[in-house]
């Protein structure tokens, strides 16, 4: 397969891109359907081309971490370079689009310190860009009523309301979020009222987003909600109540919620446009016998019979842009964590085999472990409580250090899984068994991670194709609207009925 540029301007081109992805990734199911926790128990490295592993085991971490971004080294075997660069050519490009060129009528409101209170720089960047895009599309389809689905604490809703004078309904499953959104909006409102009074426009007419608490589980449910009393004030600023055009939006609406939004856009006559940025693909439903599942949704992908599975959807959530800028130390730490987790899985398989069928998760122990690593480096050997004895003949201090950290990691893992530690757990033995293979966990992880952006592309193209399959009545595009270094999950699906 040559490294070509793909397009998704039409349904035919999108389907061609999707097929190219599926054709390329199929022989590599051993990467995308696996999970790094099983690295040792399933001897995952054995499925990978030996030449690739032999080459990468000697590579510095800064080269490994560039693999998911498609960066290769001349000295690598050509088949390895081809694998990485082909994946890169199949992934949707993430450079931020020139939004003013794309949406010539776009006006960007610069956000003041009152409305951005509580937002971190990432959120501020996202809200500033997305609000401008939503404002522009709303103007295009002549609506001033926005439904913010999965509104969280209402940052987007409030900016659309106060800065773009749009009428907004903020829907979220969490009543806590609804309360926070409302209270925050009331505080911000005072600032805007005072500003209007000063500018002699009077303090009236500042409206706040309406909050609705509802776990939206289907497009039917959303449509019913919009037509119910919870939604009946939605057209308050509309000159006529005959029709009430709506724009649906959602910033990082998790799992199926983004898909529900697209279905509601097609099913409800009132919804004229949608601006959706998804996330948490791991939460997508993917049952083969459910026509309304979250993946796949297009007829094109359904007809291929592809099933991704949980591990691949997890992988699709990972971000190459984040690793690209990672410090070497942090990357090494990331690999160490995977090594500990894989060795812990080996321990579970020996002492608690019955737990493995439930895919045990022990959460992120990264921060604690990192602190312990730093302390142990500062204090010399951390042999405290570790049954691994220093090897005085070879002076393998580092082995002891890591082994004691593994013991701590495992004890904490057992505790989190509510498992009583048997007296005979041989932490040192497990670690000794794992250690010879751990130098290839970094290469394995990096190669597998290179599939992440392509899997995400596949999920996004499926959504785009779903809209394109409607024919000329819908215009749909996929655009990276954020700077990927600030916010890597940056692709917006923008669609309008025409």
By CB under 6 A, residue 151 contacts ligand SAM: yes
| Nearer of residues 87 and 253 to ligand SAM, judged by Cβ | 253
Please, what is the minimum distance in Å from the beta carbon of residue 209 to ligand SAM?
12
Nearer to ligand SAM, 39 or 155 (CB): 155
Q: Please identify, using beta-carbon distances, which residue of 151 and 320 lies nearer to ligand SAM.
A: 151
- Of 53, 108, 173, 330, which one interacts with ligand SAM (CB under 6 A)? 173
Q: Please, which residues have CB within 8 angstroms of residue 103's CB and are 6 or more apart in sequence?
A: 133, 136, 137
Member of 155, 295, 406, 466 binding ligand SAM (CB under 6 A): 155
Largest CA distance in the chain: 87
Joined tokens for residue 54:
């032999």
25-59 burial, b if ≥16 CB within 10 A, otherwise e?
A: beebeebbebbbbbbbbbebbeebeeebbebbeeb
> Smallest gap, in angstroms, from Cβ of residue 260 to ligand SAM?
7
| Residue 249 CB coordination number (10 Å) | 30
Measuring CA to CA, how many Å separate 181 from each of 103, 135, 169, 288, 415? 29, 20, 11, 37, 37
Please check whether residue 65 is in contact with residue 326, taking contact to mean a CB–CB distance below 8 angstroms.
yes
Cβ closest to ligand SAM, residue 278 vs residue 442 = 278
Question: Least distance to ligand SAM from the beta carbon of 493, Å?
Answer: 15
Nearest distance, CB of residue 214 and ligand SAM, angstroms: 6
Q: Which of residues 197-226 bind ligand SAM (CB under 6 A)?
A: 215-217
Residue 69 or 181 having the CB closest to ligand SAM: 181
Cβ distance to ligand SAM smaller for residue 173 or 326: 173
Of 406-425, which residues contact ligand SAM (CB under 6 A)? none
**Of 171-179, 325-333, 416-424, 471-479: span binding ligand SAM (CB under 6 A):** 171-179
Least Cβ distance, residue 174 to ligand SAM (angstroms): 4
Residue 168, interface with ligand SAM (CB under 6 A)?
no
Which stretch in 168-176, 290-298, 407-415, 447-455 sits in contact with ligand SAM by CB under 6 A? 168-176
Compare residues 177 and 408 and give the one whose CB is closer to ligand SAM. 177
In angstroms, the CA 446 to CA 440 distance is 10
Work out how close the CB of 172 gets to ligand SAM at its nearest, in angstroms, rounded to a whole number.
5
Question: Strand 491-497 vs strand 474-480: parallel, antiparallel, or unpaired?
Answer: antiparallel
Angle formed by the axes of helices 397-416 and 366-379, nearest 10°: 150
Q: What angle do CA 241, 244, 246 make, to 5 degrees?
A: 160
Among residues 70, 150, 443, 453, the one that binds ligand SAM under rule CB under 6 A:
150
Q: Which one of the spans 35-43, 149-157, 331-339, 396-404 is the region binding ligand SAM (CB under 6 A)?
A: 149-157
Structural contact between residues 474 and 341, judged by C-beta atoms closer than 8 angstroms: no
Comparing CB distances to ligand SAM, the nearer of 349 and 483 is: 483
Residues 271-290 that bind ligand SAM (CB under 6 A): 279
> In the complex, what is the shortest distance from the CB of residue 286 to ligand SAM, in angstroms, rounded to a whole number?
16
Q: Which of 177, 263, 448, 489 binds ligand SAM (CB under 6 A)?
A: 177
Interface pick for ligand SAM out of 68, 70, 135, 152 (rule CB under 6 A): 152
Residue 91 DSSP label: S
User: Between residues 69 and 223, which has the closer beta carbon with respect to ligand SAM?
Assistant: 223
* Closer by beta carbon to ligand SAM, 146 or else 447: 146
| CA 53/CA 59 separation, integer angstroms | 10
Q: What residue number has its CB nearest to ligand SAM?
A: 152
Q: Which of residues 236-265 bind ligand SAM (CB under 6 A)?
A: 251-254, 257
Contacts 24+ apart (CB under 8 A), 98-105: 99/129, 99/132, 99/133, 99/479, 99/481, 102/479, 103/133, 103/136, 103/137, 105/136, 105/139, 105/140
**Strands 246-254 and 145-149, bridge-based pairing:** parallel
Edge-to-edge strand list for the sheet holding 145-149? 210-213, 167-172, 145-149, 246-254, 271-279, 491-497, 474-480
Q: Which of 128, 163, 172, 456 binds ligand SAM (CB under 6 A)?
A: 172
**For residues 105 and 140, is the Cβ–Cβ distance under 8 A?**
yes
Residue 156 CB, nearest distance to ligand SAM (Å)? Answer: 6
List contacts with ligand SAM (CB under 6 A). Answer: 150-152, 155, 171-174, 177, 215-217, 251-254, 257, 279
């Amino acid at each position: 397969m040559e490294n070509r540029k793909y397009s998704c301007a039409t349904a035919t081109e999108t389907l061609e891109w999707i097929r190219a992805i599926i054709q390329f990734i199929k022989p590599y199911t051993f990467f995308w359907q696996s999970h790094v926790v099983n690295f040792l128990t399933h001897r995952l490295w054995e499925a990978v081309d030996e030449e690739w592993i032999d080459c990468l085991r000697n590579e510095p971490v800064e080269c490994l971490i560039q693999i998911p971004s498609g960066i290769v080294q001349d000295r690598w075997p050509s088949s390895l370079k081809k694998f990485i660069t082909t994946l890169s050519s199949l992934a949707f490009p993430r450079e931020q689009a020139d939004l003013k060129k794309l949406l010539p009528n776009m006006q960007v409101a610069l956000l003041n310190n009152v409305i951005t209170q509580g937002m971190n720089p990432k959120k501020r960047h996202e809200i500033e860009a997305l609000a401008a895009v939503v404002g522009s599309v709303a103007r295009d389809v002549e609506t001033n009523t926005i439904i913010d689905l999965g509104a969280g604490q209402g940052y987007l809703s409030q900016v659309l309301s106060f800065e773009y004078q749009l009428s907004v309904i903020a829907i979220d499953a969490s009543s806590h979020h609804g309360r926070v959104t409302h209270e925050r909006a009331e505080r911000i409102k005072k600032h805007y009222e005072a500003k209007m009074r000063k500018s002699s426009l009077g303090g009236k007419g500042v409206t706040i987003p309406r909050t609705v608490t509802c776990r939206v589980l289907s497009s039917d449910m959303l449509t019913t909600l919009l037509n119910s009393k919870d939604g009946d004030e939605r057209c308050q600023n509309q000159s006529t109540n005959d029709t009430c055009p709506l724009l649906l939006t959602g910033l990082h609406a998790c799992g199926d919620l983004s898909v529900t939004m697209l279905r509601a856009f097609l099913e409800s006559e009132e919804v004229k446009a949608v601006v959706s940025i998804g996330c948490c693909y791991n939460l997508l439903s993917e049952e083969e016998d459910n026509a309304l599942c979250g993946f796949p949704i297009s007829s094109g992908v359904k007809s291929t019979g592809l099933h991704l599975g949980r591990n691949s959807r997890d992988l699709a959530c990972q971000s190459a842009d984040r690793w690209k800028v990672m410090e070497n130390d942090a990357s090494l730490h990331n690999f160490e964590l995977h090594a500990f987790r894989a060795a812990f899985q080996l321990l579970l398989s020996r002492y608690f085999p019955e737990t493995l069928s439930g895919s045990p998760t022990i959460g992120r122990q990264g921060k604690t472990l990192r602190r312990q690593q730093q302390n142990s480096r500062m204090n010399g050997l951390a042999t405290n409580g570790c049954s691994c004895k220093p090897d005085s003949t070879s002076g393998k201090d580092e082995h002891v250090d890591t082994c004691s950290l593994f013991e701590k990691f495992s004890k904490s893992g057992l505790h989190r899984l509510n498992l009583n530690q048997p007296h005979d757990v041989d932490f040192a033995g497990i670690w000794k068994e794992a250690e010879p293979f751990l130098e290839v966990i970094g290469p394995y992880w990096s190669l597998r991670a290179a599939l992440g952006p392509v899997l995400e592309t596949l999920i996004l193209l499926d959504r785009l194709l779903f809209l394109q399959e409607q024919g000329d009545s819908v215009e749909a595009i996929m655009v990276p609207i954020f700077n990927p270094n600030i916010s890597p999950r940056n692709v917006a699906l923008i669609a309008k009925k025409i």
